[in-house]
Structures are given as structure tokens and as C-alpha cells.
Amino acid sequence: MTTTLPPVPHPPDPPDPDPGEEPAAAVPKEPPPGWSVPGAGALRETGKLFALALSVARLSFKRPFQLREFVEQFWFIASVTILPAALVSIPFGAVIALQVGSLTQQFGAQSFTGGASVLAVIQQASPLIVALLISGAGGSAICADLGSRKIREELDAMEVMGVSPVQRLVVPRVLATMGVAVLLNGLVSVVGTLGGYFFNVILQGGTPGAYLASFSALAQLPDLYISEIKALIFGFIAGIVAAYRGLNPRGGPKGVGDAVNQSVVITFLLLFFVNTILTSIYLQVVPPKGG
Amino acid sequence: MGIEVVVDGLTKSFGRQNIWRDVTLTLPAGEVSVMLGPSGTGKTVFLKSLIGLLKPEEGHVLVDGVDMVNDRERDVFEARKKFGLMFQDGALFGSMSLFDNVAFPLREHTRKKESEIRRVVMERMDLVGLGGAEGKLPGEISGGMRKRAGLARALVLDPEIVLCDEPDSGLDPVRTAFISQLLIDVNAQIDATMLIVTHNIDIASTVPDNIGMLFRRNLVTFGPREVLLTSQEPVVSQFLSGSRLGPIGMSEEKDAATLAAEGFDAAASAAGPREIVPQLEPSPGMPPRQAVDRHRERVLGMLTQLPTAARQAILAGIGGSVAHAKTLTMPAPPEERP
């Protein structure tokens, strides 16, 4: 008996066991293999995204909580987002102040510049800046990290050892993005407002008193609440989408790159959509202060 | 002692592609089994199905009363703690040192104190010959060391079932021989049920008590090692001899026309009985493998159902090992000789 195999290259292995391609465990026979209707794939992905969101919400309360992982991720996401967020929010607040200032000047309502620009910064600009930065800097790192762990079979190994990767890795990351988003939103609001004040008062010759007076005439506390609620929800979305794409990369290292790219794009799309809904609900529910 | 794994009618497909169907076998408690098969026949998929990482469409995998395929996720997670799986490339956590990797299951599932964890981990690291390397990161060590570290991690919770995915891939023949010996020693020490998935003939012929083979989406055979090693089936003899002639082709299988064109004759190619290499013994100083006696008893019980060649090989093997190791107490009952 010879014990040497001829040195032939291996034929391709069966396709990677990609959970994304498996039929759901609960319905093993329906739909039959290869069954597809246009749009069914998108619906299936959406469903799985929501399923992940639900299980993250459920497992957030399950012991033991991964405190160490949470703190590490919180610190990491904060450290990559604080400086860019502050740097972006100054010009953003300035642009809004300049734009609103020039508009209000044209019909003689210059004294309301302060209130208007502050509202725009706190309610719209700040949560969006935060979410874009969290998703672009933190989410992409989360997605790449989870994706490379997945293709190195680390996540399978974890599951084999009876540890749920969702509870062990995803929950702390999503909670960290939410926490950082809320705190960062405060920072961006303050820096953006200061930037707007500076540009309005110094460059456009506005009066400091009128700026502050219109601020307190138009702005109210619920504006700050909705801003923080938005930041919380956006942080959750950014974390969930990044984790979902990271857990399901398709086909090797290239797939991880694609997943990172997609996670950022999908997050952006969802953010603006959800922002529209939240804003319209808020404007319907909370009466404006000036009215 | 290890526990039995009963696989019943397992069928798995990815999309339209069927991987294997209707696989039925029983991994006997505490014995070492090998699943052979050409590349791409779904051996790794089979392994992952056993542990519930992949869900076959049909069939059951029963481990201590839990069906790893159909039962609730919570029960499956609980049952997985009885398993240790050694991945093809170790699947170590890249951000943790070897020590933390091996300690991971202990920290997740037990309330042991750090000193206790340290003791268990170092014991396992020494067992696989990695003492002194515990501070290294997985990226800093060789493939063979990663494999052994993966084995140490699989063993740290004293599993009752150990699954090894291609323990030989990427290793030189000497290291493969060491890994083979290591697997036998591990079995002698913890008496766990073991399944090794491989296409390495050396491992298949020296390590296991039982061998199975996957080919053409089917389980060709599963039984005592002598059955497969003496089998005259074309697929098996081609695989064991590493020949190009036979039903296995470059893209897994040849069609009938190619076979005919090669002038392949099953009878001719299968001529001549193969010599059976004796099974590995545990290293000196290790306890004897308890599975050996159980296996012998089981095999003698089913002797009459086995093919003649296998029967002769088994009886010869028992005679040989009795003469070889005088510690054995139970010689084959003479009335069972044909």
C-alpha cells in the first residue's frame, strides 16, 4: 500500500457554509432550494436584520453582561469619533448660521437668527453628524472586526464552545455605539451652537443679546430630548447594521471589504429615512414654542 | 467516559447542491472514529452538522437525548458544552494570547478561580506540547502550533466528544505522526468519543477504531477499521492507494465514459489484499485505552455480519495484539473462529 497521494490541487470545496444562504431553521422544506421571487432576497435580509435587532435587545438584559468588552468598545468608538465630530460641527454650525443669517436679514427678522440656527443644529445637524461619524468610523471598524472573525471561523469556534457571539460581541458593541452617540450628541450640539454664535456675532455683526434672546424665545427642552432620542436610535441602527453585515460576509476577505462598504451605505440610507419619520412625528406631537 | 453520537438519516444541501444524503451511523462511546473522503465531499460540513453549526434539512443527530439538528437553540447550546471541536486552522481568537484562548471556555462556563484556571490551562498546554508558549499571540506561531493550541482549547472543558477537522492539513509527515500519537494519547487519558475528519491515509490506517468514508453524496461505509482497510470496493481501494485510476476524478467523480476510456477494471485494480498497519498504542506512561476492550467486544459481537477479509484481519489483529501486549486479559473466544 502506498501512502502518498499524487500532488493534485484540490477541487473546489463545497460553498462556504454561509448562514445567509440557508433556509430558516423553522421552515426546513419550504421554500424549496433555489426558490426565488424578485424582491424576496431583500425582504429576507430585512427580516434577518430585524431578527438580529430583536435578539440584541433581548440579550442586552441577559447575564453575564460583558462589561469589559463594553468599556473597551465604548472607549474605542469614542476615541475615533470625538475629534472628527468636534471638527465637523464647527463649520456645520457656522454654515447654518451664515445661511439662516443671510435669509433672515432679507426680510428683516435678523433678531431670530440665533433661535433658528440653534434649532437646526440641535434637532437635525447634531444627531446626523453623530450618526454619520459613528457609522463611518465606529461602525465600519465593528463590521470589519466581526467580518474577519467570521471568516477566520472564530465566531463558529465561539458558538461551538456554547457562547453566543451575539451576546458576547454584538450586544456590547451596539450598546457602546448607542452610548457614545448620546454623549457625542451633547458635544456636537454645544460645539455647533458655539460655532454658530461665533460666526453670527463676529462675522455677520449680529448682536449677542438678540441671539441669546431669540434662542430662549424659540428653543425649548423637548428639542433637546428629541435630539438625544434621535442620537440613541441612530446609534442603535449604526451598531445593528454594522454587526449584521459583519456577521454575514460573503466569500472570503473580499466579502468583508464589501460588507464594510455596504454597512456604511445601508446605515446612511436608514438614518435619513428614520430621521424624516422622527422629525415629522415630533413636529406633529410637540407644539412649537413660538406659536 | 465519552458518550455515543447517533446520526440518523442526515441530508444536507446548499441551495440546489446536495452535499450528502441519508447518512446514518453511530459513533460508539469512547472510541476513535475517522471519516475519510476525497476533498469536497462535505466532511467538514458533516462535522459542523454534528455540532449544530449547520442545520441539515432532514435527519437527526442525537447526543445524550438532545437532537442537535431540530431541538431548541438553548438545548443545543447546552449540549455543545459536551463537545470539543478542533478547527482546521485552530480558529483561535486572534486578539488573545494562547493562554487566554485556552482559558476562554473555562472563563465563560465555570466559576473557577484564576489560579485554578491557570493550573488546568497549563496542564492542557503541556499535554499538547505547548508549555512555555502561552504568552504568544496566534499570529506569532506556526500552523502546527495553532492546531495543537486549538486542540488544547477543545480539551479544556473535559469534553465527552472530541471532533477534529483535518488535524493533518498543512503539517509535514513527521508532525502528522506526532499529532496521530497525540490524539491516541488524548483518547487514552480522557476516554472521550472522538471523530477525526481527514483525507490522510496514515492517520486513517493507524489511529481509529472505526472508519467511514463519504463519496458521491453518500456514506460508502462505516464500521470497524478492518472493514474499510480490507474493502475491495473500487472507491475505497483507489482512495487508499492514492491512484489516479478509479471512480474518483479531479472534480470529485468521473463519469462512466471517462472510466471506460481509461480501461478501468474494478476487479483488476482491486486485486491483492492490502496489508493492515497495526493501530497506534498510547505512549509509554499513558494509561491503557479503555475503548480497546469495548471495541473488541463490540466487534466480536458483530463478527458474523462482516465480510470475510475483514473478519480474518480482525482475528489476526486480536491474536497479534494478545501476543504483543500481555496485559490484555480477554483473548478471542475460540468458538467464534470460523
First to last CA, chain B: 33
Please give, rounded to a whole number of angstroms, the shortest distance from the CA of A248 to a CA of chain B. 14
Contacts across the A-B interface (CB distance below 8 Å) = 112
Residues B256 and B294 occupy one common structural domain: no
Asked if residue B320 has pLDDT above 60, the reply is no
* B310 and B194 part of one domain: no
In a shared domain, residues B309 and B202: no
Closest by Cβ to A14, choosing from B14, B55, B88: B14
Q: If you average pLDDT over residues B91-95, what whole number do you get?
A: 88
Residue B186 is placed in which grid cell?
Answer: 488524548
Which SS3 state, helix, strand or coil, does residue B173 take?
A: helix
Distance CA B329, CA A74 (A): 64
- pLDDT digits 0-9 by tens, B184-214: 988 888 889 999 998 888 888 888 889 988 8
**A50-59, A224-233, B49-58, B215-224: the lowest-pLDDT one:** B215-224
The answer to whether B81 contacts A152, with C-beta atoms less than 8 Å apart, is no
SS3 B218: strand
Distances (CA, A) of B225 to A236, B253, B331, B333: 55, 24, 19, 20
Answer whether residue B28 is part of any domain: yes
Give me B105's grid cell: 471556555
Residues B104 and B127 occupy one common structural domain: yes
Residue of A3, A18, A54, A166 to mutate, testing the B interface (most B Cβ within 10 Å of its Cβ): A3
For B322, the domain range is 290-336
Task: Say which residues have a Cβ less than 8 Å from residue B73's Cβ, sequence separation at least 6.
Answer: none
User: Between chains, do B244 and A6 touch, taking CB under 8 Å as contact?
Assistant: yes
Q: What percent of chain A is predicted at pLDDT more than 70?
A: 87
Set of chain A residues whose Cβ sits within 8 Å of the Cβ of B14: 14-15, 17, 21-22
Beta partners for residue B197, in sequence order: B35, B165
Assess contact for B151 and B30: CB atoms under 8 A: no
Of B57, B83, B108, the CB nearest to A28: B57
- Residue A1 reports pLDDT greater than 60: no
Burial of A276 (0-12, 13-18, 19+ CB in 10 A): exposed
Q: Are residues B193 and B329 in the same domain?
A: no
Give percent above pLDDT 70 in chain B.
Answer: 87
B14:A1 CB<8 A: no
Quick check: helix, strand or coil at residue A229?
A: helix
Position B282 in a domain: no
A70 CB contacts (<8 Å, ≥6 apart)? A172, A175, A176
pLDDT in tens, B6-46: 998 889 888 888 888 888 889 988 889 999 888 778 888 88
pLDDT tens column, A94-153: 888 888 888 888 888 777 888 888 888 888 889 989 988 999 999 999 999 999 999 888
- Using only C-alpha atoms, chain A has a radius of gyration, in whole angstroms, of 24
Average pLDDT, chain B: 81
Secondary structure (3-state) at B205: helix
pLDDT tens-place string over residues B265-304? 555 554 455 677 788 888 888 888 888 888 888 888 888 7
Helices (H), B134-233: 143-155, 173-190, 201-206, 225-229
- For residues A73-84, average pLDDT: 92
Helix (H, G, I), strand (E, B) or coil at A28: coil
Residue B281 gets the label, from left (phi > 0), alpha (psi -120 to 50) or beta, of beta
- B278 within domain boundaries: no
Q: Which residues of A touch B205 (CB under 8 A)?
A: 1, 3
d(CA B228, CA B306): 11
**pLDDT of A278 above 90:** yes
Side-chain-side CA neighbours of residue B55 (13 Å): 19
Q: Which residues pair with B168 in a beta bridge?
A: none
d(CA B330, CA B158): 29
Question: Does A25 touch chain B if contact means CB atoms closer than 8 Å?
Answer: yes
B85 and A160 within 8 Å at the Cβ level: the answer is yes
Q: Is A25 exposed, middle or buried (0-12, 13-18, 19+ CB in 10 A)?
A: exposed
Burial annotation A115-148 (CB, 10 A radius, 16+ → b, else e):
bbbbbbbbbebbbbbbbbbbbbbbbbbbbbbbbb
The answer on pLDDT for A182 being more than 90 is: yes
User: B102 to chain A: which residues are within 8 Å by CB?
Assistant: none
What is the spatial distance between Cα B81 and Cα A79, in angstroms, rounded to a whole number?
37
Q: Where are the domains of chain A?
A: 66-285
Residues B260, B254: Cα–Cα separation, whole Å: 10
Alpha-carbon distance A149 to B95, whole Å?
10
Does residue A132 contact residue A268 with C-beta atoms inside 8 Å? yes
Say which of B14, B242, B244 has its CB closest to residue A4: B242
C-beta of residue B50 within 8 angstroms of C-beta of residue B228: no
Q: Are B297 and B171 part of one and the same domain?
A: no
Q: Are residues B209 and B249 in the same domain?
A: no
Domain membership of residue B229 (yes or no) is no
Cell numbers for B225, please give them: 477499521
DSSP E strand boundaries for B38-80: 58-63, 66-67
- How far, in Å, CA of B306 to CA of B315, rounded? 12
Q: Indicate the residue of A5, A11, A21 with minimum beta-carbon distance to B251.
A: A11
Cα(A145)–Cα(A169) distance, rounded to whole angstroms?
Answer: 10
In 3D space, the residue among A92, A80, A86 whose CA is nearest the CA of residue A124 turns out to be A92
Q: Kindly provide the b/e burial profile for residues B59-97, where b requires at least 16 CB atoms within 10 angstroms of the residue's own CB.
A: bbbbbeebbbbbbeeeebeebbbbbbbbbbbbbbbeeeb
- Number of domains, chain B: 3
Query: In this structure, what is the dihedral angle of CA atoms B10, B13, B19, B22, given to the nearest 10 degrees?
Result: 20
Contact A168, A268 (CB under 8 A): no
> What residues form DSSP beta bridges with B32?
B194
Give the model confidence (pLDDT) of A151-161 as tens digits: 888 898 888 88
Considering only CB atoms, B104 lies closest to which of A11, A12, A161, namely: A161
Q: Is the pLDDT of residue B174 over 80?
A: yes
Q: Tell which A residues from 151 to 190 touch B, by Cβ distance under 8 Å.
A: 152-154, 156-164, 168
Determine the Cα–Cα distance for residues B181 and B17; give it in Å rounded to an integer.
37
- Same domain, yes or no: B197 and B121: yes
Lookup: cell for B265: 477494471
| Residue B317 sits in the same domain as residue B211 | no
CATH number for the domain spanning B123: value is 3.40.50.300
Q: Which of B169, B101, B104, B175 is nearest to B138 (CA)?
A: B101
Same structural domain, B262 and B297: no
Please tell me the distance in Å from B230's CA to the nearest CA on chain A: 11
Same domain, B214 and B255: no
Lowest mean per-residue pLDDT among A9-23, A126-140, A177-191:
A9-23
Strand partners, B11: B58
Q: Is the pTM of this model over 0.80?
A: no
CA-closest candidate to residue B165, choices B61, B46, B77, B6: B46
Continuous segment of H or E residues that includes residue B39: none
Q: Mark whether B209 and B243 lie in a shared domain.
A: no
Separation in Å, CA A109 to CA A112, A212, B72: 6, 14, 65
In angstroms, the CA B24 to CA B78 distance is: 24
Instruction: Say whether residue A13 is in contact with chain B using an 8 A CB cutoff.
Output: yes
Q: What is residue B128's three-state secondary structure?
A: coil
In whole angstroms, give the CA distance from residue A133 to residue A82.
Answer: 9
For an interface test with A, the pick among B60, B70, B74, B80 (most A C-beta atoms closer than 10 Å) comes out as B80
